Amino acid sequence: VLKEATNEISRWPQEIDFIAVTIGPGLIPSLLVGTNVARVLSYATKKPLVGVNHLEGHIYSNWLAPARLSAYNQTPPAKYFKNRKPQFPAICLIVSGGHTELILMKNYGKYRLLGKTRDDAAGEAFDKIARMLNLGYPGGPIIDKLSRQGNSFAFSFPRPMIHTKTYDFSFSGLKTAVHYLLDDLAINELERKKPDIAASFQEAVVETLVSKTLRAAQEFNTKTIMISGGVSANSRLRKVFSKAGRKLKKVKILFPPMELTTDNAAMIAIAGYFNWLSGKKNSWKTLKADANLTLMG
């Protein structure tokens, strides 16, 4: 990966301003590989090192332009950014395979956690349901596609915690509801009903996510809603949010470019850029990975 990335740079390392690296949260073996490579690079090239929170990377993916407009050494057209500049305060919904968090972002680098999942993450729920339906991995894109042939109201699955006052989520009950349904279905029926099950499950997740996010935006009077993480690629989620956005005239709803919704290096670079601007630098001597890093700490 490093070789491929540096090949793209005409004057390596002179052209580089700093090296950004994910320091957490995540699995410690992968974090150690990444941080140690970055520390060595920083030492060898004498470039500053900037540690980045993985979730902060997802949030900042909303500041990026799609690859087709931002080829190396080419500035994306200003008109792309015209109506896309995030304004504060903002509500950030991060929905990925490991996280479902609702965050109030007051300014660059200023976060307050409003709520998170108490059990499974939204992406994890997609992956588990896909496994139950024998559809393959990762489940999110497969369920998204299959749902287009199904009826979202064929089965009424629960919308867990949708009416609770907190901004926490829970998706394990939804998983159990799908499980019970599958137990009751005859095998020949299951094949035929898969698109309906996928669409009804997806609808339950989307409705829960959208409802809590809009409520938070209203309560905190936010100007922008930013959705990010792998699940933000979901076509139904994008559609329902965009429809809600047309009604909420004063709130801008942003999604990252499709190809930057799942984990990628560009989002770490841009989050590193904002950290670097605000003077947050690390030394190769002291930079440490933290498996349980939070956005607030």
**In sequence order, what are the residues at sequence separation of 6 or more whose Cβ sits closer than 8 angstroms to the Cβ of residue 44?**
none
Q: Does 127 bind ligand KG4 (CB under 6 A)?
A: yes
Taking the complex as a whole, the smallest distance from the CB of residue 272 to Zn ion amounts, in Å, to 15
Q: Does 144 bind ligand KG4 (CB under 6 A)?
A: yes
Contact status, residue 274 vs residue 109, Cβ threshold 8 Å: yes
The residue within the footprint of ligand KG4, chosen from 22, 213, 224, 262 (CB under 6 A), is: 262
Pick the closer one to ligand KG4 by CB: 106 or 148: 148
* Interaction mask 228-247, ligand KG4, x per CB under 6 A: -xxx-xx-------------
Q: Does 127 bind Zn ion (CB under 5 A)?
A: no
AA identity, residue 167: Y
The residue within the footprint of ligand KG4, chosen from 123, 150, 195, 272 (CB under 6 A), is: 123
Pick the closer one to Zn ion by CB: 189 or 259: 259
* Interaction mask 185-224, ligand KG4, x per CB under 6 A: ----------------------------------------
Residue listed under structure tokens 């699995």: 27
3-state secondary structure of 187: helix
For the chain, count helices (H), then strands (E): 10, 7
Taking the complex as a whole, the smallest distance from the CB of residue 142 to ligand KG4 amounts, in Å, to 8
Q: How far is 129 from 126, CA to CA, in rounded Å?
A: 5
Q: How far is 96 from 267, CA to CA, in rounded Å?
A: 14
Q: Does 138 bind ligand KG4 (CB under 6 A)?
A: yes
Contact status, residue 117 vs residue 125, Cβ threshold 8 Å: no
Residue listed under structure tokens 């057209």: 77
